[in-house]
Amino acid sequence: MQAFVDFIQGFLGLGATVILPVAIMILGLVFGQKLGKAIRSGLTIGVAFVGIFLVIDLLTLNLGPAAQGMVERLGVDLNVIDVGWPATSSIAWASVVAAFIIPLGLVVNVIMLLTKTTKTMNVDIWNYWHYTFMAAVVYTVSGSIVQGLIAAVIFQIVCLKVADWTQPMVSDFYELPGVSVATGSTISYAPFIYLVKLVQKIPGLKNLHADPDSIQKRFGIFGDSMVIGLILGAAIGALAGYSVGDVINIGISMAAVMVLMPRMVKILMEGLMPVSESAREWLNKRFGDREINIGLDAAVLLGHPSVIATALILTPITVLIAVVLPGNAVLPFGDLATIPFVVAFVVGAARGNIIHSVIVGSVMIALSLYMATDIAPLFSDMASTASINLPEGSAMVSSIDQGGNLVNWIIWRVFEIFN
């Protein structure tokens, strides 16, 4: 068993840039593509994800230190550190239930496809770590591997159903036909789509058109997504107390994120579309005319400038909310760069309206901080078991990504009732 666990951890350690191309290539062959075409599709998607994650790293490396600078200037004293998704995923894969998740997840997805209870063929195996974390949480509470696996399956089913529900929006607004998103850190915030609809009915607010096209028409060059990235990045640097040179540097870096991310997503779609078409043809021959969507990492949604713009505005707001929110003990840090993933569905529901997205995003962040505070003692125990060192000066750790994940929190609380 340990050898199998080590193999799984080693395979997942290769990351999405290796796992996804291999999965896409295999799918292409299964669905009747010629070897050369399948290899090209897989490699194209691999190249695209390398580009996407390089841009995300650019975002992370700039936002992390800036957030720390803002926190230091505010003199905040919060004793639960947000360790971010990399540490959270390490905690998940260190659990004894980890070895079962990938095979179990694949079986569940196939069964749901065959029984027509989902339209999503989720090839985003890398993000199965969200299901693993859910299983690890319930296993820690109950001591039962079976309960942990049941919790993971419930989480996966919710992810797939939300992916089906939001797919028309992904296809229409994000212009990604045949793609759905079942990433655990994104689907959790799908219920806030209803809050967006409420905000859009409020007199005054509903008439504020702040999507990139409207902003550019009104402000000309200052409404260009690249310039918006420059302005927002520079504002974050100024709030962090950076020097003039560093303010300009972070501004240009954020401008680069705004420009490069959409281009990486376009490359990804070049690789995905042939596989998606082959999958439909293969399934239609055997199961009739069925709609099947390919489930991908939520990173594909970051190509829209409204997502990045909303996330950049929410970065200092998140730090401020953490400071003034009564009862919050979490200091945002590691997961500040995951805010684009958190708000992606909300931005889509708001049709790119940045003002509406920021309003709803602020409510989401506040609730996420409360949930992350609530689960912090359990989260810290899991980190200790996984030999994750606590950051200096912190009493406990948690994360916005999974500690503040609504679906994760509800399932944990339900299982805790019975244990």
Domain boundaries, the chain: 1-96+184-287+299-405
- Residue 235's alpha-carbon distances to 50, 58, 70, 232, 248, in angstroms, are 28, 17, 11, 5, 10
Mean pLDDT of the chain: 81
Residue 356 has pLDDT above 80, yes or no: yes
Report, in angstroms and rounded to the nearest whole number, the Rg of the chain calculated over CA atoms. 21
Which residues have a Cβ under 8 Å from the Cβ of 137 and sit 6 or more positions away? 148, 151, 375, 378, 382, 408, 412
CB 355 within 8 A of CB 310: no
Rounded distance between C-alpha atoms, residue 212 and residue 119, angstroms: 31
- Tens-digit pLDDT profile for residues 83-125: 777 778 778 877 888 878 888 988 999 899 888 899 988 877 7
pLDDT class of 134 with cuts at 50, 70, 90? very high
Q: Hey, what long-range contacts does 6-10 have (CB within 8 A, 24 or more apart)?
A: 8/93, 8/98, 8/99, 8/102, 9/93, 9/98
Q: What pLDDT, on the 0 to 100 scale, is given for residue 191?
A: 92
Confidence bin at 220 (pLDDT 50/70/90):
low
pTM value is 0.80
In eight-state DSSP terms, residue 174 is S
Q: What is the pLDDT of residue 331?
A: 83
What pLDDT, in 10s, does the model give residues 165-193? 999 999 999 888 888 999 888 999 999 99
Least confident of 22-31, 105-114, 210-219, 261-270: 210-219
If pLDDT is split at 50, 70 and 90, which confidence band does 215 have?
low
Q: 82-86, 92-96, 229-233, 287-291: lowest mean pLDDT where?
A: 287-291
Residue 133 · residue 88 · CB < 8 Å? yes
Most confident of 19-33, 170-184, 232-246: 170-184
Calpha distance 344→265 (Å, rounded):
14
Integer angstrom CA distances of residue 379 from 91, 390, 406? 9, 11, 15
Query: 48-52, 92-96, 134-138, 236-240: which has the highest mean pLDDT?
Result: 134-138
